[in-house]
Amino acid sequence: MSDPLDALEKSIGTLRRAIRDAAAAGDTERAGELRMQLRRAERAWDALVDAGEPAAAPPRQAPQAAPAARGSQLPAREHVHRALMLLGVPAAPKLIVDVHEAFFPGELSTSKLSSLRRDEERSYRSSPGARPYYLCPALAHDLLTPVRALITISTWTLEQRVIGPLSPRVDFLSGAIRIAKAVRTSAESAADGASPEALRLLWRFAVNIPDAMPKNASGHEGALDAQQVIGAAQAELDVHTETDRANRAAAARRARKSLSDDEQLFGAPLRGVTHLRSARA
Amino acid sequence: MREPVDDRLAALRGSAKRLDYNARSLAALENNPRCTLRALLDASGSDKAAIATHVGHPPAFGQSSFAITRGNAFEAMVKANGCAELLRVLRETLELTLPEVGYEDLNDVGGDGRSKERHERTEEVLLRAARGEGDGTLFDHPMLCLQIGGHKAYLEPDLVAFRIDGRFHVVEIKSFPIIDEQAAPAQVRAATTQASAYIIALRDLLGRAGIGEEAVSDTIVLVAPKDFTNRPTGAFVDARKQVAALTRQLSRIERVGDLVDLLPEDLTFDLARDSEDRPRRPAEELNEALDQVLVTYRPDCLNHCEMAFYCRSRARAEASLDVLGPVVRDQFGGIDTTTMVMGLARGELTPSEDQMEMAAALRHAARLRAELEDLGGAA
């Protein structure tokens, strides 16, 4: 699936379904945001058809954002957003690419992701709020500085975007549950079941969660059961959730009090570090 | 006392920039503690690779870029997704309980990767954990610091794990495989030596805050690929002996002054680089300077010391038994060179009193060999 037109049509379809779901659930905010994405995808589709050369990927940008160079990264951006929405937690580029390959069509590479991230902050600073969402780094719970290599979406709450000491594990387990659910859904809906990539991804999560791997009579590993993974992950999650939530909530409160709007998205600059430390000492 | 020694060491190094100790040069202390040249070059912070190259014995090894990439990729895999693989391994080996999953990233301080800042932050975080505050269990790339001979050396373990019963464990992540619960002994030894430097540095850090050294376990956790797969497994390695050996060597560094005193006043290993960084000093002159210092060559120096090829050629030129390795060398107590061994065996040299026994054994061996050769010739 390398043809950008095919990819766009697929994502337009996905977006329409998502809007219907959001509307049915009464989530107007989310539906509005999705509609915006849909409109943009449709514009890109129109532009591609008009241009008549599907190989030249860069679809037209939203009117208010400027140069065409940035527009060429629009599809990758959408890919990342989609993968992150599936995971529902901050994730490293590699995991985002893995999730993308397991569940969505189109090309996405980690190298593309790193240039994308720099671009996001620059775009935000030049015209804040011009885009419906931004890809931004997670924030460290104590220093509120950006966390290396964890990507989040600006529309998530601060509590979701802050990383406390327990958060990497909590996010791993929550991610495992979301992936297991996605695998189950695609197994039920698609004729040939979940893709081998999706099963492999789920397996990689499951082997590192206690009791998530099925054991048959001889004690060997049997076929993977999405429901069992969900149960096992939830069981360990219950151990950590409360502490983690308290940590994250406290950090988020601090961030709201001490950081400006753009710092709440892209992290406190380093000058704050010494200041915070002396305040604590 | 301290001052003049530092001056002498600075003079040995000459105009070049001082190189600090690192985990590799510390490990070498434990590998070949008797080598005077190595001790002096390291203590003075000289660039061994540049010196060896200038005298015509460039270090033919180095760290292979493939090995480094492989090592880094394995470490990244082990630590990916909130240390998922690592947690599984540590739950098996260290028996971490379910709630012990706290993770502190000490790779940088809010984007600042400078050693000093990272060390301060490491100190703060680890002390907090040692006092039982916070949820930290896994500490990713803490930056430790050791004072060696009056100079700071920054050391960076792969990971330190903190167990709820109050002990820190140094975790070394290596990409050589553990096959059927066995790993290559030389590799394990190198990893353990490196880890013992971390143990000492970690104890030093806690010790300064009044926490006893029993807070750091002297057993390290080695995490490496299992069998022929890429999945990590863990094993305990006892590092007690190496920690003790390295501690002793470190205390000896303080006495490097004794070694310096044995050297001629004007000795220097300065390359006298010009403005374009080309060494101006004649190679022969540098060679002469090096020749004045005792070396203790061992074949396994080739694995870890930049000067090894120089030392080997020197040992060969002197027909020293060192070339054959400690196993052979130790057989010939009191005899230093191959020429002497051969002379005694052929009966061309008259043995001194304490060489009598050895000479008899050698002549016996020579006779046996001659007989075998005759047999071989007849067949």
Q: Does A75 touch chain B (CB under 8 A)?
A: no
Query: What pLDDT does A62 receive?
Result: 39
Q: Considering only CA atoms, which of A114, A37, A125 is closest in space to residue A73? A: A114
pLDDT digits (tens, 9 = 90+) for B231-273: 999 999 999 999 998 888 888 777 787 888 888 888 888 888 8
Give just the sign of the alpha carbon dihedral B122, B128, B131, B136: negative
Q: Is A94 in Cβ contact with B80 (below 8 Å)?
A: yes
Residues of B in contact with A205 (CB under 8 A): 81, 84
3-state secondary structure A56-103: CCCCCCCCCCCCHHHHCCHHHHHHHHHHHHHHCCCECHHHHHHHHHHH
- In this complex, the residue of A94, A143, A208 whose CB is nearest that of residue B87 is A208
| B166: number of Cβ within 10 Å | 13
Please list every residue in chain A whose beta carbon sits closer than 8 Å to the beta carbon of residue B231: 207
Phi, psi of A157 (to 5 degrees): -75, 160
Select the residue of A145, A168, A207 nearest B111 (Cβ to Cβ). Answer: A145
| Chain A hits for B87, Cβ within 8 Å | 169, 208
The pLDDT of B102-119, averaged and rounded, is 85
d(CA A170, CA B83): 11
What is this structure's pTM?
0.76
What is the average pLDDT across A128-152?
A: 87
Contacts 24+ apart (CB under 8 A), A3-7: A3/A54, A4/A48, A4/A54, A4/A57, A4/A59, A4/A75, A5/A45, A5/A48, A5/A49, A5/A54, A6/A105, A7/A75, A7/A105, A7/A106
CA distance B224 to B183: 9
Closest CA to A12 of A49, A48, A37: A37
pLDDT band at B377 (very low <50, low <70, confident <90, very high): low
Mean pLDDT computed over A199-205: 92
Q: What is the mean pLDDT of residues B13-33?
A: 80
Question: B159-179 pLDDT, tens per residue?
Answer: 888 875 678 999 999 999 999
* pLDDT at residue A168 in the model: 94
**Lowest model confidence (mean pLDDT) among A132-141, A205-214, A219-228, B73-82:** A219-228
pLDDT reading at A49 higher than 70: no
Q: Which two tokens stand for residue B174?
A: 């290596």
Is A121 an interface residue toward B (CB < 8 Å)? no
pLDDT of the residue at A143? 87
What confidence tens digit (pLDDT) does each residue in A69-121 have? 333 344 688 889 999 999 999 999 999 999 999 988 888 888 888 788 878 88
Q: What is the pLDDT of residue A87?
A: 94
Q: How many CB atoms lie within 10 A of CB A234?
A: 16
* DSSP designation for B194: H
Q: Say what the pLDDT of residue A43 is.
A: 73
Cβ within 8 Å, pair A168-B124: no
Lowest average pLDDT, out of A39-48, A236-245, B132-141, B192-201, goes to A39-48
pLDDT computed for residue A17 by the predictor: 81
Q: Is the pLDDT of residue B1 over 50?
A: no
Instruction: Report yes or no: B185 at the A interface, CB cutoff 8 Å.
Output: no
pLDDT: which is higher, A59 or A95: A95
| Residue of B85, B91, B97, B101 to mutate when probing chain A, most A C-beta within 10 A | B101
> Which domains are seen in chain B, by residue range?
2-62+264-298 (no CATH), 65-249 (3.90.320), 332-378 (no CATH)
Q: Are B43 and B214 in contact (CB under 8 A)?
A: no
DSSP lists the bridge partners of residue A139 as: A146, A162
Q: Is the pLDDT reported for residue A272 higher than 50?
A: no
pLDDT for residue B234: 92
Cα B156 from Cα B75, distance rounded (Å) = 14
Chain position carrying tokens 């920054």: B154
Query: Distance, in angstroms, between B231 CA and closest chain A CA?
Result: 10
Contacts 24+ apart (CB under 8 A), B131-135: B132/B166, B134/A165, B134/B102, B135/A164, B135/A165, B135/A166, B135/A243, B135/A247, B135/B102
